[in-house]
Amino acid sequence: MSIEMALRSHTVEPSRLVYGAWCHASEKQIGEGDICASYSADRIGMGQPIRKPFRYAGELWVCVGTGPSGAEAYRLVHPSLYGGIARSYHDRCRDGDRARGDPAGFYDGIIVRHAGRELVMAGPPVMFVAGEEAQLSLF
């Protein structure tokens, strides 16, 4: 079984997972969905602030991987709400195979920065997949 199949998943509107297209005239990505736009694994590894997180079910999330089956993301929480030991990406990498095999996910407990504040990535990761999101009844 692949890692993606083992992850809990949430179905979201397909437009949230669109990669968009690079516009040479404006030198920016156009038409990108908010989940894909939050992709920040490259920035986390370099110690840079993450891209704008996306909201799902009232919580902030950041994407760490995308592919044909969807996007893998971690919830972002205030450091005081994280129940484990928060650490830097580089400290987590020193854990080697233990970090890669952690049931809470590799990025669990990693401290990131966004909009001038520190947040902690809380696992386990979740897959966001394209489909029709369930609509809550208003009646």
In a domain, 132, yes or no: no
Domain encompassing residue 120: 34-127
In a domain, 119, yes or no: yes
Helix, strand, coil percent values for the chain (each to nearest 5): 20, 35, 40
Closest CA to 66 of 18, 5, 2, 123: 18
In a domain, 108, yes or no: yes
Mean of per-residue pLDDT scores for the chain: 89
- The tokens describing 77, both together, are 């929480």
In a domain, 20, yes or no: no
In a domain, 105, yes or no: yes
What pLDDT, in 10s, does the model give residues 13-43? 999 999 989 999 998 888 899 999 999 999 9
**Is it the case that residue 134 has pLDDT exceeding 80?**
no
User: Are 53 and 39 spatial neighbours (Cβ–Cβ below 8 Å)?
Assistant: no
**Is it the case that residue 135 has pLDDT exceeding 60?**
no
User: What is the DSSP secondary-structure string of 13-31?
Assistant: -GGGG---EEETTTTEEES
**Structural domain total, the chain:** 1
Please, is 84 exposed, middle or buried when counting C-beta atoms within 10 Å of its C-beta (0-12, 13-18, 19+)? exposed
Helices (H), 18-137: 34-37, 41-45, 89-93, 97-100
What's the confidence (pLDDT) of residue 99? 76
What average pLDDT score do residues 66-88 get?
95
pLDDT above 90 as % of the chain: 74
In a domain, 44, yes or no: yes
What pLDDT, in 10s, does the model give residues 41-65? 999 999 999 999 999 999 999 999 9
What's the confidence (pLDDT) of residue 136? 52
What's the confidence (pLDDT) of residue 29? 85
In a domain, 85, yes or no: yes
In a domain, 6, yes or no: no
